[in-house]
Chains A and B, each alone.
Chain A
Amino acid sequence: MSLKRACAIAGVAESRLGVVPDSTVMTLQAEALVKALEEAGLEKSDVDAVFSSGNWGRLPQLQVAEYLGIQPVYSDNTSVGGASFEFHLGHAAAAIQAGLCKVAIILYGSTQRSRRERRIFEAHTDLGYQYETPYGLPIPVGAYALAASRHMAQYGTTSEQLAELAVSTRAWASLNPAAYRREKLTVDEVLDSEMIASPLHRLDCCLVTDGGGCVVVVSPDLAKSLPKPPIWLLGQGESHSHAQISEMPDLTITPAAESGKRAFSMAGIKHSDLDVVEIYDSFTITVLLTLESLGFCNPGGSGEFVSGNRTAPGGEFPLNTNGGGLSYCHPGQYGIFLLIESVRQLRGECGDRQVSNATLALASGTGGVLSSNSTCILGLE
């Protein structure tokens, strides 16, 4: 059984991004929903399935559907960190294929910037976390720092190579009017930025912004009758290997190894067939590890892979073309924006940052502390 062409994306939208003080998580999601439905040529009354990954309040799935006035017949609150939305797309495809729903919305919103929620917070103290909490590892950055230290020791990866990825991603952001940080960035500026948890500097870390997004997923029959060219799901895979970093089997191999294998096999394509790649960049090291786990390069080869502006505009490997979580936006969980950018690239709507003749895109979300991954392959045909 395969999810290939089981569904298509008919509408995508962001809410206002960056610093949006006059908002709540609900207003941001409502804003994105209205725009995404308008783009899809659908009404709210057409929506029969809701997928969200809210981390606010009590029973967030119920709260957001209530606020928007939707009573779904299919509901999925899979919440596995920033990768949740790539999981949602796979789950929506399965539900649509089974005939359980026809129009699914994937939603996210966060006001973490305006509400000054701390990104470096105290870990949970109970169950498995009781064996980590006493040591004061800042979560999530400290966990990613441990993985970076291991990759450097094992493979000789350097801070300069991590910085190159941040610099290339910023160059993409400079072409995106919606990006939060657009000014030029140099490798030296990354290396000179404050050390947070060695070897990761401040500029190895993603932004903290407000923002929301919505993706409208529809059945194949419906997709063909809507205004935008349908963007088809061709392959998807998902996996998670741990919750806390001390339980990660190998700090250099993420669950993308498993999910990527499934996604490529389902889509029936090779790595070299892809035109554009969007990989969750919570930290620079996240991208390097994911590139290896997805098989774009050999284990240990990612430092060299991202060097020499290879992933920058004009480079051979267009990566994180909206400017990523590092420079475009990162409202707590970024995965929905990987899907939004992939769709826009495939539709050819990206203006100065458009990758020419893009027909195949990959979006790979990572959540938790390198804990979860879902990888989606999308196509114009």
Chain B
Amino acid sequence: MAEELPDPDSSPYWEGINIGELRYQHCDHCSTSIFYPRSICPNCGKPDPIWQTSKGKGTIYACSVIHRAPPTYKEDTPYVVALVDLAEGFRMMSRIIDCDTNSVKVGQRVGVVYSKDSTGTQVPYFTPNNS
């Protein structure tokens, strides 16, 4: 059964997204940046990582142009899903938008933008035009 969203771990993240802030966590004990949000540091195991705000600049670690999509996103094809390494030292999944889908490359610099997805939820995307 699906947990209700946002949940106690994710509330600060989604609240940030709604006001245009990309929030992540940092562990002051072992100096590790943490994403996705958790109640303990997955590196050293100490509790209560500290919330921080990212500048939203990063590089593409991996990317794929999706041609066969899950039903909800069928209308969007083709679209680019990527893993983005943020400058603050964490990695997240996103889409790369406002771009020629076939020109998106691993190593490319991108910056965050916010927009509503097809279900009406505001989510962070990335674009090469804002790097």
Contact = CB atoms under 8 A, between A and B. Distances in A.
A135 B36 CA distance: 15
Interface residues of B, number: 39
A183 interface: no
Interface stretch (A122-130, A158-166, A220-228): A122-130
Given A149-B64, A198-B65, A138 B70 contact: yes
A195 B101 CA distance: 14
B106 A149 contact: yes
Contacts of B71: 122
B75 to A, nearest CB: 10
B107 interface: yes
A269 interface: no
Contact of A122 (B6, B35, B72, B94): B72
A251 B62 contact: yes
A283 to B, nearest CB: 12
A47 B32 CA distance: 49
B10 A130 contact: yes
Given A125-B2, A126-B7, A137 B63 contact: no
A196 B36 contact: no
Interface string B92-118: 111100000000011100000000010
A75 B128 CA distance: 52
Nearest to B106: A153
B61 interface: yes
A153 B105 contact: yes
Contacts of B82: 146
Q: Which of B35, B66, B91, B94 is packed against the most chain A CB atoms within 10 Å? A: B66
Contact of B62 (A136, A147, A194): A147
Interface string B33-45: 0011000000000
B78 to A, nearest CB: 8
A31 interface: no
Contacts of B81: 135-137, 142, 146
Interface string A163-179: 00000000000000000
A138 B5 contact: no
Interface in A112-126: 120-126
A150 interface: yes
B130 interface: no
A265 interface: no
A279 to B, nearest CB: 22
B69 A150 contact: no
B83 A146 contact: yes
Q: Which of B63, B79, B119 is packed against the most chain A CB atoms within 10 Å? A: B63
Contacts of B94: 135
B121 interface: yes
Contacts of B35: 131
B2 A124 contact: yes
B12 to A, nearest CB: 13
A148 to B, nearest CB: 8
Closest 6 interchain pairs by CB?
A: A136-B73, A153-B106, A145-B64, A150-B62, A146-B62, A126-B3
Interface of A: 120-128, 130-132, 134-139, 141-142, 145-150, 152-154, 194-200, 245-247, 251
6 contacts: A131-B92, A137-B81, A138-B68, A142-B81, A150-B106, A153-B62
Interface of B: 2-3, 5-7, 10, 13, 35-36, 61-73, 76, 79, 81-83, 91-95, 105-107, 117, 119, 121, 123
Given A194-B68, A196-B67, A197-B67, 19 more contacts: A122-B71, A127-B7, A134-B123, A135-B81, A136-B79, A137-B64, A137-B66, A137-B81, A138-B66, A138-B68, A138-B70, A142-B81, A146-B81, A149-B106, A194-B67, A195-B67, A197-B68, A246-B93, A251-B61
